[in-house]
Structure 1
Amino acid sequence: MSKFLPVRLFFVWLLFGILLAGCGNSPSSDEEPPVYSPARVLTPEAPGKKTLGSSPLILDISNQDQGYLTAESDSDDSRMNIQLTAPSGVVYSYFLEPDEQTVLPFSEGSGEYLITCYQQVDGNQYAALYTETLTIKLQNEFLPFLYPNQYVDFSSKSEACKLAASLVKEDMTDIDILKTFYTYVTSHISYDYDKADSVEAGYLPDVDDTLSTGTGICFDYAALTTAMLRSQDIPCKLQIGYSGDVKHAWIDVYIRGRGWVTKAVSFDGDTWKLMDPTFDANSDGDEAIQKYIGDESNYTVQFTR
């Protein structure tokens, strides 16, 4: 039920770089990801059948059971902020530039989400627009990790997706595809230390730009690999958090027959690491997997995208 905030101005200091502690993992289940033959790039839609709010910020929740909503700003000069409080209590904060449309995921799967929307007044001062509580029931728990979103932005026309399709051969397993994509990305993308030192809060990756420039930071590597895997119907989570005091981005990948592989692709500050892609999916593989985790067990998830 919608509860609109009083029509009065109050000020919210929004710092995009602040991360709230917590983990956004979906509950465990015997459910398997959907299978498409041939593989297809899932495309978010905003048909307008069910919406929240009004100008200058409209949320289209018509496809909430697919694991996402779309947000559209028709303001010419004001930035918008959408805060999703997930079932675990983690607050996911998203920003929209003027006249922008974007896709936001329900990263924790089915459950109750509190959505609060704000409009920029001046600098870091924002006025509340409205708030809403949604009870989400997904058709499939893996859908948020197959669709594109603001952090992992791609489409069937993206060069990253075309590249992914060209690299996949008939009869490849999920593990084969993961290893192939990892090898390509780490062979063709160089780490940009200057960018890492100067990147500003609120930075969002551009997967095709990463491909064309051949450079990127850990966030770019993770987003590109995630986009390629999702375009081949392999669910993956782009994780944002810390290893010790250092901020990182890494990837969890769902392998059919094995389940979620945590930190399947991770970055230790110098090199990318691929968790053992040759483990036997017909056995538990715990010993083989654990040796690749090693000292990386101190990774702390802050947000799942």
Structure 2
Amino acid sequence: MRKIFVCLCFIVLLIPAYSISAPSEKATANAVAQPVDTSLIASGVIGVKYSSQVGKRVKVAIEKSGNVYYYDLPNDGTINYLPLQMKNGSYNVSVYEQIKGTSYLPVHQTAVQLSLEDLNQVYLQSVQNVHWNKSMKPIKKAAELTSKLKRNEDKVKAIHSYIVKNVKYDSQKLKTVQPGYIPSIEATFEENKGICYDYSSLFAAMLRSQGIPAKVAMGYTPGVKGYHAWNEVYIKELNKWVVIDTTVDASSKKASPIYKKNSLYSKEKEY
């Protein structure tokens, strides 16, 4: 029997209960001339930045064919890279600035076109909630763990084993984490603890750094109380995506198959 534990992830943004006002001339005039950077769109990501009034929050909505992903954005003009993970086609990107409380004003809207030959390319990139670069300790550790391995499946298993053995579930963090929380793979690696969002972000980043496509998936699964995060990983040798749940494996006292049954996982979002 699978161990039941609580894993209530506060995701980038679920569909919010915010009111949106019509844009004003003042807001349009104050908007960043071009807050959307498409220089990396050939890799399946875009950059978004916006400087707002002091204390005003900023949000981004990325929409395609009626499906929308929402993100919190720094209000100081710092660029964040976000995935275009809803396959090829036209995306609408909207930036919203807080007016007061839960009221937001649209300050920029633009359309971008995604046309990738390999859709898995999106899941190799560094983005807001799977942020990594080669200078980070966990990324260097991934290179160390896989240095003598040739097969991608063996690399996946080596990194999975390291995380499961070394990272502990942080029940105290679960009690205090706030909405809008974004994982830091460096903090998770250094502290050797985290919640499900931390596990899945760390695993995805370490795999992506080795050229292995990996998603952070979010939704529900039996045995885990609350909203949960896990990974889907593309195994080249198997020519398919598999479900891997490092949080469950790290919390289990008994060894369980690394690849989980897809039917046990109800996915709502993927990054």
TM-score by length of 2: 0.80
Counterpart contact for 2:58–2:95, Cα < 8 Å: yes
Give the one of 253, 262, 266 matched to 2:233: 253
Unaligned runs of 5+ in 1: 1-14, 21-52, 278-288
Following TM superposition, by how much is the alpha carbon of 1:231 offset from its aligned partner in structure 2, in angstroms? 0.2
Give the one of 227, 230, 237 matched to 2:208: 230
Matched residues in 1 for 2:83 and 2:179: separation? 20
Following TM superposition, by how much is the alpha carbon of 1:223 offset from its aligned partner in structure 2, in angstroms? 0.4
Deviates more, 1:226-235 or 1:259-268: 259-268
Alignment of 1:172 onto 2:163: no
Following TM superposition, by how much is the alpha carbon of 1:116 offset from its aligned partner in structure 2, in angstroms? 1.6
Question: Where does residue 204 of structure 1 map in the other structure?
Answer: 182
Matched residues in 2 for 1:229 and 1:16: separation? 21
RMSD: 2.6
Question: Where does residue 114 of structure 1 map in the other structure?
Answer: 92
Deviations, residues 142-191 of structure 1 (Å, cap 9, x unaligned)? 11100010010111111111111111133431111111111111111110
Following TM superposition, by how much is the alpha carbon of 1:131 offset from its aligned partner in structure 2, in angstroms? 2.2
Alpha-carbon spacing, 1:95–1:274, altered in 2? closer, same or farther (3 Å):
farther
Unaligned runs of 5+ in 2: 1-10, 17-29
Alpha-carbon spacing, 1:185–1:145, altered in 2? closer, same or farther (3 Å):
same
Q: Percentage identity across aligned positions?
A: 26
Counterpart contact for 1:19–1:302, Cα < 8 Å: no
TM-score by length of 1: 0.72
Question: Where does residue 14 of structure 2 map in the other structure?
Answer: 18
Question: Where does residue 45 of structure 1 map in the other structure?
Answer: none
Question: Where does residue 220 of structure 1 map in the other structure?
Answer: 198
Give the one of 164, 169, 173 matched to 1:195: 173
Give the one of 290, 296, 299 matched to 2:265: 299
Question: Where does residue 51 of structure 2 map in the other structure?
Answer: 74
Deviations, residues 227-281 of structure 1 (Å, cap 9, x unaligned)? 000000000111011225621101111111322333123544973699846xxxx
Matched residues in 2 for 1:274 and 1:259: separation? 25
Matched residues in 2 for 1:274 and 1:173: separation? 23
Counterpart contact for 1:67–1:109, Cα < 8 Å: no
- Structure 1: which amino acid aligns with 2:83? P
Following TM superposition, by how much is the alpha carbon of 1:55 offset from its aligned partner in structure 2, in angstroms? 1.4
Which secondary structure does the structure 2 equivalent of 1:142 belong to?
Answer: helix
Deviations, residues 48-91 of structure 1 (Å, cap 9, x unaligned)? xxxxx95177111122122000012233623211101134x321
Matched residues in 1 for 2:139 and 2:13: separation? 29
Alignment of 1:61 onto 2:38: yes
Q: What is the total number of aligned residue pairs between the two structures? A: 243
Matched residues in 1 for 2:161 and 2:14: separation? 33
Deviates more, 1:54-63 or 1:105-114: 54-63
Matched residues in 1 for 2:162 and 2:34: separation? 40
